[in-house]
Amino acid sequence: MPKNVIQHFEWTTRDADRLKAFFGEIFDWKFSQPMPDYTLIEGVGGIFPTHDENIPVGVTPYVTVADLEETEAKISAAGGVVFKSRQEVPGMGWFTLFGDPDGNMMAIWQSAPRPKPAPKPVAKKASKPKPKKAAPKKKKKR
């Protein structure tokens, strides 16, 4: 599998309800609201409403990276602009919104470490019951 794959698409909009109605009617997509002001599109991505004039509206691909801060430094050094740095999605990870040199909006995503599962208890081997020693035979009297 290639590194740094696009794993999510997000529509940034000034009117989330309008986009939900539009995409729901055309594609029959299913929506949920896992947190306030965010609509999740099942199997596709999400709709993010914003009123921040510094954040352009449009479709934003999210690229998975191993290290958010390191990738932000590369973005800035290569001529990109970081709009929002290291925003947390509780329990899931962090993202950064940025623009490429042509002004296209993109995002990078770093997943939170997954908790290690608790070790499974080791089953004790069932020990075979020890055979009972036969009681000594009584000697018959003659």
pLDDT reported for residue 123:
67
Instruction: Note the Cα 102 to chain centre separation in Å.
Output: 28
pLDDT reported for residue 64:
94
Q: Which CATH class is domain 6-111?
A: alpha beta
pLDDT tops 90 at residue 79: yes
- Convert the pLDDT of each residue in 45-73 to its tens digit: 999 999 888 778 899 999 999 999 999 99
pLDDT reported for residue 14:
95
pLDDT tops 70 at residue 122: yes
Q: How many CA atoms lie within 13 A of 71 on its CB side?
A: 21
d(CA 33, CA 18): 15
- Nearest alpha carbon to residue 110 among 81, 80, 67, 71: 67
- Convert the pLDDT of each residue in 21-42 to its tens digit: 999 999 999 999 998 899 999 9
* Domain boundaries along the sequence of the chain: 6-111
pLDDT reported for residue 119:
78
d(CA 38, CA 41): 10
